[in-house]
């Protein structure tokens, strides 16, 4: 491959990263709008169910090409990436702002590195150690400050747990599915989650909410967009990006996600404290050092 082709591929990787940042940065405000009519439980279940249903044609079409011997690993990817985190984010955003959720999501890169160092044989060095320390300090300050002002420590920690799960998810994809078709990874991992989530939706008061809540259609539209864009389309692109680069580069999408989330939050009238920005700089500064 010549130098021009290499540069073109590098630019394509960065443009892909920016696209993912915009899509995923918008997901926090979409969760907020989904919660207007639905409970956090319903928002997460709907997100997974719609995503799973969207991938059924792909599973049928590609059934004989999918490596079903890895079903347990597909399930692991589904649980850590699309199974548990949606419930954590929806529950957290019943109390914390979409801006804060987006900022704390920036820890994904740091936890991706920590998981890679502890479990996937990545080499440790001083800059990475300093980056992890700085990033975690920034997160600790913003969580403690928010708890002092709003008393929402528990809900903020739900985002941290989701970021840890994303850290495992990114490394699992690189470790177990580096040569796998990214469409297969997305379709099967979400397809395995979808039926369970659909049962959860149908056994809730979803139909009653749709009949009685004045904003039900708006919330349903928001969660549908969340599922199709942030989960279905973005997951396929993200898995492919991990294969072409690595888990740490791909999770670098979290550089831009917080800024997109903050912009949407401010436009929606959320309060944004100056200390949030300072902590965001610390978190992203830590992310920068971990990727050096």
SS3 28: helix
Other CB atoms within 10 A of residue 244 CB: 14
Buried b (16+ CB within 10 A) or exposed e, 42-75: bbbbbbbbbbbbbbeebbeeeeeebeeebeebbe
Q: What is the pLDDT of residue 157?
A: 93
pLDDT band at residue 288, thresholds of 50, 70 and 90? confident
Give the predicted TM-score (pTM) of the model. Answer: 0.86
Q: What is the pLDDT of residue 241?
A: 75
- Portion of the chain with pLDDT greater than 90, in percent: 39
Helix/strand/coil percentages in the chain, nearest 5: 85, 0, 15
155 pLDDT above the threshold of 90 = yes
Range from 80-89, 122-131, 166-175 carrying the lowest mean pLDDT: 122-131
Q: What is the pLDDT of residue 117?
A: 84
Q: How far apart are CA 70 and CA 76, in angstroms?
A: 10
Q: What is the pLDDT of residue 4?
A: 62
Q: What is the pLDDT of residue 129?
A: 82
CA 194 to chain CA centroid, Å, is: 17
211 pLDDT above the threshold of 70 = yes
1 pLDDT above the threshold of 60 = no
Q: How far apart are CA 257 and CA 24, in angstroms?
A: 6
Q: What is the mean pLDDT of residues 198-211?
A: 94
User: Burial level of 245, CB count in 10 A (0-12/13-18/19+)?
Assistant: middle
């Amino acid at each position: 491959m010549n130098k021009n082709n290499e540069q073109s591929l590098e630019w394509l990787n960065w443009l892909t990263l920016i696209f993912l940042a915009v899509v995923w940065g918008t997901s926090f405000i979409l969760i907020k709008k989904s919660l207007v009519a639905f409970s956090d439980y319903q928002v997460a279940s709907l997100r997974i169910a719609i995503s799973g249903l969207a991938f059924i044609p792909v599973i049928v079409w590609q059934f004989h090409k999918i490596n079903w011997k890895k079903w347990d690993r597909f399930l692991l990817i589904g649980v850590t990436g699309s199974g548990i985190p949606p419930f954590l984010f929806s529950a957290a955003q019943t109390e914390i702002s979409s801006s804060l959720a987006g900022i704390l999501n920036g820890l994904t890169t740091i936890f991706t590195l920590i998981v890679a160092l502890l479990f996937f044989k990545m080499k440790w060095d001083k800059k990475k150690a300093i980056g992890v320390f700085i990033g975690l300090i920034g997160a600790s300050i913003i969580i403690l400050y928010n708890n002092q002002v709003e008393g929402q420590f528990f809900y903020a920690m739900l985002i941290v747990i989701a970021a840890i799960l994303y850290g495992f998810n990114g490394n699992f994809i690189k470790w177990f599915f580096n040569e796998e078709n990214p469409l297969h990874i997305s379709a099967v991992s979400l397809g395995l989650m979808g039926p369970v989530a659909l049962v959860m939706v149908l056994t809730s008061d979803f139909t009653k909410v749709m009949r009685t809540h004045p904003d039900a259609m708006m919330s349903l539209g928001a969660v549908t967009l969340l599922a199709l864009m942030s989960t279905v389309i973005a997951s396929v692109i993200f898995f492919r990006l991990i294969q072409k680069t690595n888990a740490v580069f791909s999770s670098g999408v979290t550089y831009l996600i917080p800024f997109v989330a903050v912009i949407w939050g401010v436009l929606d009238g959320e309060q944004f404290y100056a200390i949030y920005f300072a902590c965001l700089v610390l978190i992203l500064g830590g992310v920068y050092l971990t990727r050096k």
